Amino acid sequence: HYISRTLVALTDAAQRMAHGDVTVRLRASGDDELALLANALDRLTVNLSTSIAELRSERDLLNSVLNNMREGVLLVDRSGHVTLANPALRDLLLWPEDLVGKSPLELTRNVDLKEGLEKAGERSSVLTTEIELTGATPRRLLMHATAMNDGPKGVLAVFVDVTELRRLESLRQDFVA
């Protein structure tokens, strides 16, 4: 009966861990095989909960950085569909929040953007190009894009709004002329 009760408790704890409950603790005493297994499961849950806390902290930090950047950040997968876009890019391009899985061409009818992302995916170095967007609010964006070959494959692009800078350069040239 002792072995059966202990095995049921170990099985129950293992199933709860498998479903994501990392607060399970068995606190077995003794030096038999079942106590050693229970202690190993306890150590496993402690290590697992520590790893999960570290991953959550890293995720929160990355989300905070992306959400507070003034530059637009876009990540597209190998097939050219949006995987990630920070709020600055969505505001800059007037994109909706539910854009994951859509192509940039579908969101912004701009061939230069599509071609720039495709060229960046084929290169081993950073592609820097300027894109002109027309519409209700015309903008000029400087795009730095690079292929991501480690981790999630795709293209990472950072966009900087240079509309005002180009306007000032044009004013300066007109003044000099």
Q: What is the pLDDT of residue 31?
A: 84
Q: What is the DSSP letter of 158?
A: E
Is the model's pLDDT at 127 over the cut of 80?
yes
- pTM as predicted: 0.73
Mean pLDDT lowest among 27-31, 48-52, 131-135, 138-142: 27-31
| Residues 141, 134 contacting (CB under 8 angstroms) | no
Is the model's pLDDT at 33 over the cut of 80?
yes
Q: How far apart are CA 34 and CA 52, in angstroms?
A: 27
Mean pLDDT of all residues in the chain? Answer: 90
Helices (H), the chain: 2-18, 33-68, 87-93, 104-107, 111-122, 163-176
Q: What is the pLDDT of residue 87?
A: 94
| β-strand partners of 148 | 154
Please state whether 52 falls in left (phi above 0), alpha (psi between -120 and 50) or beta.
alpha
- Residue-wise pLDDT for 45-101, tens only, equals 999 999 999 999 999 999 999 999 999 999 999 888 999 999 999 998 888 888 899
